[in-house]
Amino acid sequence: MQLLTKELKENIPPIGACEDVDDPVVHVKIFDPCSSWTWYIIEFDGEDTFFGLVDGHYCELGYFSLKELKRTENKLGIGLERDLHFEPKPLSKVKQELRGQAVGLN
């Protein structure tokens, strides 16, 4: 599966564009189908670097690499996937949904 289409790459704001935005939009969700790790993309430098929310051992904002995501394989040899049904939404909504999952509300 292609993690990012050309259209997605063109529509994600560049790195730094959302610095002064209180509640930036999450544009893409990428997940590991065999674990709970998920990456939510807010900004992209157009080549390799993303800024977004990573929900792994901890839930935190940070930078991550497209190359690293493409190389990631789980124990079954399956790579990461893009959530084809994910609709862009504010970061606050994503965090709210994650908190709901953590306490078993969703």
* Residues 63-98 pLDDT 10s: 999 999 988 766 677 789 999 999 999 999 999 999
Judge whether residue 106 has pLDDT over 50. Answer: no
Q: Domain for residue 61, yes or no? A: yes
Spatial distance between the Cα atoms of 106 and 81, rounded to a whole number of angstroms? 21
Mean pLDDT value across residues 27-35:
93
Res 35: pLDDT: 87
Residue 88 contacts residue 26 (beta carbons within 8 Å): yes
Is the confidence at residue 103, as pLDDT, over 70? no
Residue 9 belongs to a domain: yes
The H or E element spanning position 77 is none
- Domain span at 57: 1-14+24-76
For residue 89, being part of any structural domain is answered with no
Instruction: Supply the pLDDT for residue 75.
Output: 67
- Work out how many domains the chain is built from and give that number: 1
Beta strands 25-26; 89-90: pairing state: antiparallel
Residue 8, SS3?
helix
State the DSSP code for 23.
S
Average pLDDT, the chain: 90
86 inside domain: no
Whether residue 98 is contained in a domain is answered as: no
Q: Which of 50, 86, 84, 90 is nearest to 66 (CA)?
A: 50
Rounded CA-CA distance 12/81 in Å is 18
Residue 64 in domain: yes
